[in-house]
Structure 1
């Protein structure tokens, strides 16, 4: 009789284990909440990647715009007569051209936030030592809300430099 009892215990143990295995397999096959968990884990990362790539594109566009406008301003200075390159009025017009795309005052800035004309500088030392090359530097602020969301300063400053051979007219 003891042998029959131990067999019964063994068979009940096997039945319980097979029931547990069946329940675990059924639990693993169930996908009713899996999509919600996956979306909860992946969505913030996907949104950050999309927003970051959009901001990177905006920053690249702003840098390219600043580079082209500083190049235009340096070309403008390179075409002036030699006596006018270092004059205040010539530099003011070159600054306007770099910041607004126009020679006259009063235009809106090409890049939002780029309103300080003192950030566009003619390198006078290099002009004195080598008058055949015009060096024009600009510091262009670029603001982005993404950096604020990350707890960083929301303004990045691009430094743009262009050299143009002096050709005069």
Structure 2
């Protein structure tokens, strides 16, 4: 009978060892379950926080877009004005070159030379007028004395 008693005792010991191992494994599983629940809860919090953060960011970006939208026509006007300014700048450059050419042409004659040419032209005009007056008198076209030369301005 000892062998059957030993068997019972061996089985009891095996059951105790198995029970302790099962208890230890159960505690480990319960601990892991609590950790998993904690992580799951934290994950949900992070996910919700992230969702709220994205919603806030979206709302802020949308508000900024609404704020900036009226500037689009202003920017279009600015671009059009900038093109006009470029056209005006080109026109001014063209005018400047034309004025420079004119100034060079006028500058080719100094004032004294121009004054001298004007005086020569006035003298030639007086001489022509005097000749005309004499010619009239010689031809007998008129008894009026020759007209006097115009005074110099």
TM-score of the superposed pair, with normalisation by structure 2:
0.36
Which structure has greater helix proportion?
2
TM-score of the superposed pair, with normalisation by structure 1:
0.34
Which structure has greater strand proportion?
1
**Bigger RCO of structures 1 and 2 (CA < 8 A, at least 6 apart):** 1
